[in-house]
Chains A and B, each alone.
Chain A
Amino acid sequence: MDTFIEVKPQKKIFQRIYLSIMLWFVGRAIQAASRVDEQVKNEFNTMPDNYTFSLGAFPHGPYMVIGKDDNGKVRYLGSDIEKQPVDLELTLKSMAHFFLLFTFMESTPTANSRDRMCVNGDVPPACAAVRILDIVQVYLLPKFIAKLAIKRYPRWSFKRHTLDRALVLIRTLIGF
């Protein structure tokens, strides 16, 4: 390289599309799990009404926003973080880190220990959000993949593994 060059920031199109699809799916799955799973319901009960949290990558997403309304109902609020105020932001420091997390090359605790994640908001709801994410991943993913994504695969009842999982998957697909 003999001359001075300026490199304009480029896009990672494939990673952005993959992560957007994954976040859309996980967001709807969190909404579904909050209606089916007792543990997820309890985690959301610890959060105040009208509480919203987001998960995304620095600096411009993609994002997933989850909110709890006045009646305690949990909703997936889409991918636009500007639309509503967000009480808790879980941000991965780069899209590459987010991609590692959502391709299950790194589990959430590993990503956290490698300083890939930062939280803007209160720590207890952030821990609750991570626990919810773990549960939802167990619902959505086959065991051999879920094992890569979470710290320890849980011992659930037969009903939770079969009936509840089926309900979460159906509700995720139809968005109810």
Chain B
Amino acid sequence: MGMEPTEFTFLCRTKTSFGKSALDHLPFDLSSMGAHKPFVLQDNQTSESHCTKPLIQAFKESEMTLGIYPALDRECPVDMETLKNCYQLFTDKGFDSIIALGGKQVVDLAKVLNMAVSWGPEALETSHEHSVGAPPLVPLAYVPTTAGDGRETDCSAIFNGKRFDLPGLAPDIALIDQSMMARDTLNNIVNAALTCLAVSCETLALSKNPPARAYAATAVGLVMTPLFALLNKDTYSDTTIFPNNKKDQYHLSCLVHASAITGYLITNVRSLIGFKMGNAMPKSCFASPGRAMLVVLPAILEIFSNTDSDMDLLLLNLLGQDAFCTIPSSQHGVTAIQTLRNILNNLYGLSKGAIPRTLADAGMNSGKMDIYFKAICQQEFDVDPDKIKAILIHSFDGQPMAQG
């Protein structure tokens, strides 16, 4: 394993609990942080799947009163009025902690509410002043009910078009319990899984942060089996609803766990090129960010594999120990990239073309490449723009770099 760690920082504020009775840990965990009256936020998908029932069950005998806010509409952005209502209820009724039940929208509201109740409502205007020496935020527990894009467990929140990025915003607890898995479309689940796979693979290959790479290795393991198990159905459709049975529920909980890890990686590995490129994908292209991230990943690895990379660990995690041992060490880099391309091909076949192999498959027009390139360059990149352009060109039709 070639890469030597130089200097790194790794901070994961979030305690992850995973398993069948993980939810029963929540009253104890909140109590150990001095919280005794949690305020619960949820979205309509969570409400329709009756996910509050197991939560209420878990808080029996806990001596804690739960305040459950009406379900938020998942399709509509949260407005200032909702935040004001939550703030009023939270302060009037003496709540002291927040439980976010659902996905990205709920977590964003929970993070912003946390800032407002801990530092005062004016903190939303002057959040940059609270990065150092600010009083602690109230405990925030995140109970995911479906796989997200990883932003849920990172240190950022987007509210009303404004982005907040503070180290304390990450949830204190991420609790993944099988009984809390809500029904969601396969499209959303696959997008989350591909985001996680792309971020983890890039971290494994290009990051010099050993704890981040350990997390990434775990995430790759968590994604690979459930992703193919969910896709390996006779009738693939983006609108298929999962989970349908206990096995699907378990697979989904593994993907949710991987999503939580993705958030830890995004926080600690700031130079994720694929992640930034995926999120800058123009709306004219039908690939979701997760799909785009995986499409551009082979080209990214090809460009950066000669300078700063460790393909051994990536290959080991993608193929498993037995297959890894059969490959000569001199071919690890090439085989790792080829394996990623094979995964893309398999996903394309299993999804009947819904998961693209190339940017062309994703509906990108070669004429709009420059617009896309400009959108990417607007982000903070410490990479030569020529390399970004080369990645785009080679990802357009999936042509390996070696072929020119």
Contacts and interface: CB of A to CB of B under 8 A. Distances in A.
B56 interface: yes
**SS class of chain A's interface: helix, strand, loop or mixed?**
loop
Contact of B63 (A4, A5, A59, A118): A59
B71 A1 contact: yes
A93 interface: yes
Contact of A4 (B21, B56, B58, B89): B89
A9 B60 CA distance: 5
A70 interface: no
B68 A5 contact: yes
A5 B56 CA distance: 12
A9 B61 contact: yes
Interface residues of B, number: 27
Interface string B32-71: 0000000000000001000010001011111111111111
B54 to A, nearest CB: 11
Interface string A119-130: 000000000000
B77 to A, nearest CB: 20
B65 A7 contact: yes
B63 A94 contact: no
A2 interface: yes
Contacts of B56: 7
B27 interface: yes
Interface string B58-98: 11111111111111000000000000000001000100000
A11 B31 contact: no
Chain A contact-residue range equals: 20 to 34
Nearest to A16: B61
Contact of B70 (A3, A95, A97): A3
A8 B62 CA distance: 10
Interface string B1-36: 000000000000000010101001101100100000
Contact of A97 (B21, B52, B59): B21
A11 B61 contact: yes
Contact of A115 (B25, B59, B60, B89): B25
Contacts of B68: 1, 4-7
Given A11-B60, A96-B58, A2 B70 contact: yes
A60 B63 contact: yes
A95 B58 CA distance: 9
Interface string B160-174: 000000000000000
A101 to B, nearest CB: 11
Interface of A: 1-12, 15-16, 57-60, 93-97, 100, 114-116, 118
